[in-house]
A = this chain, B = another copy of it.
Amino acid sequence: MKTALIQQRYHGSKEATIARTLEMIAQTDAKLVILQELHQSEYFCQSEETKFFDYAETYKEDITFWQQVSKERQIVLVTSLFEKRTAGIYHNTAYVFDHGEIAGKYRKMHIPDDPGYYEKFYFTPGDMGFEPIDTSVGRLGVLVCWDQWYPEAARIMALKGAQVLIYPTAIGYLACPKERHDELCEKENTPEEKRKMREAWIAVQRGHAVANGVPVLTVNRVGSEKDPSGVLEGIDFWGNSFAFGPQGELLAEGSQENEEIIELELDMQTGEEVRKIWPFLRDRRIESYACLQKRFCDT
């Protein structure tokens, strides 16, 4: 099944960015199309500013809009929206549309909070758990960005029958101002450190594919975005969207510089064959895993 990962820049406004997304969607005949995290806007979590909550005011219209796109294009479409649930409760929510129907949603469970990624200010951690979403192309284990570092999230999706793991994401390097020379900034900006970070990000998700015998599809933002508060310089999103098969074999990979439609053939059945050869799920020692439900097992 033809699948497309839409790796995009932010184009200065919500309208221009969405226009570009629609243009890219129109260029592929993929049946499953995946957009990046918070694809309607800039990655606004670089600073903590109440004005950005306005983006969530259009949440219901946004749903209707992308639902309509999935109907017109006759596709399964994975989106990433800023959900206003009520005053003071907002979520980072992936919505999946299936030929004009709402297939389901996933509220980001693991929320980061690190320099440049102040998501705990904006997003209440998801309260729907890890539930795959059934669609006409298969059962999708949709997770979001920071979730990608957690083997627990991947495993639970697999144990609930997900046939593929899908991560809309927005991750990059913190840009270091030329006039600043503090140690953290210098350290994070050596080419070696940058490569290490990006490769670690790929490695952990490739690991999820192998451990669970499922493909992994990750769509990342690309391009530079300034910190609107001016405290930090900004983020250089590293693109590099990718797809791994159920043995961790590379299926497709995007560039680190450009907007791209990364197309691949996704086989939802190979995972089952791989699990016959490598039956990891057969031998799990579930009676000895209690520690996994603890913060730290120091007692």
From B161, B210, B297, contact of A203 by CB (8 A): B210
Given A155-B292, A289-B292, check contact A110 B283 (CB 8 Å): yes
Q: Min CB distance, A132 to chain B, in Å?
A: 10
Query: What residues of B have a CB within 8 angstroms of the CB of A109 in the complex?
Result: 285, 288
From B199, B291, B296, contact of A130 by CB (8 A): B291
The answer to whether the Cβ of A146 comes within 8 Å of any Cβ in the partner chain is yes
Q: Mark A102-138, 1 if CB is under 8 A from B, else 0.
A: 0000000111101000000000010001100000000
The answer to whether the Cβ of A150 comes within 8 Å of any Cβ in the partner chain is yes
Please give me the residue from chain B that is nearest to A112 by CB atom: B283
Contact A293 B285 (CB under 8 A): no
Query: What residues of B have a CB within 8 angstroms of the CB of A110 in the complex?
Result: 283-285
Query: What residues of B have a CB within 8 angstroms of the CB of A290 in the complex?
Result: 293
Contact A204 B200 (CB under 8 A): no
Number of copies: 2
Contact A291 B156 (CB under 8 A): yes
The answer to whether the Cβ of A223 comes within 8 Å of any Cβ in the partner chain is no
Selected interface stretch from A47-55, A175-183, A273-281: A273-281
Please give me the residue from chain B that is nearest to A295 by CB atom: B286
Given A161-B298, A283-B110, check contact A129 B288 (CB 8 Å): yes
Q: Min CB distance, A118 to chain B, in Å?
A: 14
The answer to whether the Cβ of A211 comes within 8 Å of any Cβ in the partner chain is yes
Beyond A109-B288, A146-B283, A199-B248: 11 further Cβ-contacts under 8 Å?
A112-B283, A150-B284, A151-B211, A155-B292, A159-B297, A160-B291, A160-B297, A196-B249, A203-B248, A207-B211, A286-B293
